[in-house]
Amino acid sequence: MSESFTTPVEGIMPRHIAIIMDGNGRWAEAQGQPRVIGHRAGVKSVREVVRLCREQNVEALTLFAFSSENWSRPAREVQLLMRLFMTVLRREIKLLKKSNVRLRIIGDISGFDDKLQQRIRDAEQTTAECDGLLLNVAANYGGRWDIANAAQKMCQLVQQGELDINDVNEQTMQRFICMADQPEVDLLIRTGGEQRISNFLMWQCAYAELFFSEALWPDFADAEFTEAVDCFARRQRRFGLIGAQVTNPN
Q: Which residues are documented as binding site for substrate?
A: 23-27, 35, 39, 67-69, 71, 73, 190, 196-198
With CB under 6 A as the contact rule, which of the stretches 41-49, 166-174, 198-206, 207-215 interacts with ligand FPP?
41-49
- Residue 186 CB, shortest distance to ligand FPP, in Å, is 20
- Residue 64 CB, shortest distance to ligand FPP, in Å, is 7
- Residue 141 CB, shortest distance to ligand FPP, in Å, is 11
The C-alpha atoms of residue 218 and residue 37 are separated, in whole angstroms, by 10
* Residue among 206, 209, 207 at smallest CA distance from 187: 209
Q: Is residue 88 part of the contact set for ligand FPP (CB under 6 A)?
A: yes
* Residue among 130, 129, 135, 105 at smallest CA distance from 117: 105
Q: Which amino acid is at 81?
A: L
User: Is the Cβ of residue 63 or residue 201 nearer to ligand FPP in the bound state?
Assistant: 63
How many residues interact with ligand FPP (rule CB under 6 A)? 19
The C-alpha atoms of residue 177 and residue 62 are separated, in whole angstroms, by 14
Active site residues: 22, 70
With CB under 6 A as the contact rule, which of the stretches 59-67, 126-134, 195-203, 224-232 interacts with ligand FPP?
59-67
The C-alpha atoms of residue 178 and residue 217 are separated, in whole angstroms, by 24
In which element (H, E) is residue 134 found?
A: strand 134-141
CA dihedral 61, 112, 193, 19 (to 10 degrees): -10
Q: Is residue 142 part of the contact set for ligand FPP (CB under 6 A)?
A: no
Using the rule CB under 6 A, which residue among 18, 19, 21, 80 binds ligand FPP?
A: 21
With CB under 6 A as the contact rule, which of the stretches 10-18, 42-50, 172-180, 238-246 interacts with ligand FPP?
42-50
Q: Is residue 22 part of the contact set for ligand FPP (CB under 6 A)?
A: yes
Q: How far is CA 26 from CA 12, 214, 217, in A?
A: 33, 12, 10
Q: Which amino acid is at 78?
A: V
Dihedrals phi, psi of 136, to nearest 5 degrees: -100, 125
- Residue numbers at the binding site for ligand FPP (CB under 6 A): 21-26, 39, 42-43, 46, 63, 65-66, 70, 84-85, 88, 137, 192
